Amino acid sequence: MTLIASLPVATEEMAQALVEALGASEELDFPTAATTEQADKSWIVDIYFEDAPDETVLATLIADAMKGSVPHYTVAPLPDEDWVAKSLEGLRPVRAGRFLVHGSHDREKIRPGDIAIEIEAGEAFGTGHHGTTAGCLAEIDRICTARDFGSILDLGTGTGVLAIAIAKAFGKRVLATDIDAVATRVTRENAVLNGVGDLIEAETAEGFGNPVFAAHAPFELIIANILAGPLIALAGDIARHLDPASGTVVLSGLLTAQGPSVTAAYEAEGLKLVRSGEMEGWLTLTLERAR
């Protein structure tokens, strides 16, 4: 169950300081946070937790980041609501590299030369409108244009937008996995909608113990757009399933402050950071086997 804490803060600077402190907190398992400006120019910081946080650690971190001021907040279950559909209200098509991510109502926005990916508001995360997904799309366009990859894994596929991008632009088969059965069902539906249903194998799999990974490994390209905590925890498994000669990993779902911790975890597994890109405050890291 996802938990949320919402904190009112006075200024954008305070909101950003709090988000950066949260993103660097190993004690709180690198929680994700988002900021929203209010009509009165104040800000709300929403913090998302997969497990109940240590309240003392959280309160101390907030006090330090906000220089002694701790606004009232509670940690409570995230309401059961279609957050993807809610987040897409009023959103425009998004361009990333040659890719255009759009809903059915924006098909007329497709230009000659666009690689259009149609994703509707649905039940799974990853619509292309978030800075993490858009950053991954731009990096996919760059690296897959420069090099031909064989076995490819999209780990934590969400709506399948990244797997669809690879299949549609480069005609590649992709294994798309997620721990959520809803996400893999949505990925299959979106793959068919975008004409690449025969190129994408969507599987529900929690952890690399699932035999589907061994059946497709070693992977020449692994894309993981999830969160900093899971990315650090999975560093060893991802490295072990990567092609030992020429494997490449693209990681996202990271705030800027989380980059050093995630990079260190993968460098400890013999990978080398070759590129770091930022979009809307979110990082996309590309690593390769160190030579």
Structure-token pair, residue 4 = 């949320």
Q: Is 133 annotated as a binding residue?
A: yes
Structure-token pair, residue 93 = 């098509």
Please provide the distance, in angstroms rounded to a whole number, between the alpha carbons at the two ends of the chain: 41
- Cβ 253 vs Cβ 270: under 8 Å: no
Task: Identify whether 218 is preceded by a cis peptide bond (ω within 30 of 0).
Answer: yes
β-sheet with 32-37: strand ranges across = 32-37, 43-49, 3-9, 75-77
Tell me the backbone φ, ψ of residue 114, rounded to 5 degrees.
-70, 145
Q: Which residues are annotated as a binding site for S-adenosyl-L-methionine?
A: 133, 156, 178, 225
Q: Which residues are annotated as a binding site?
A: 133, 156, 178, 225
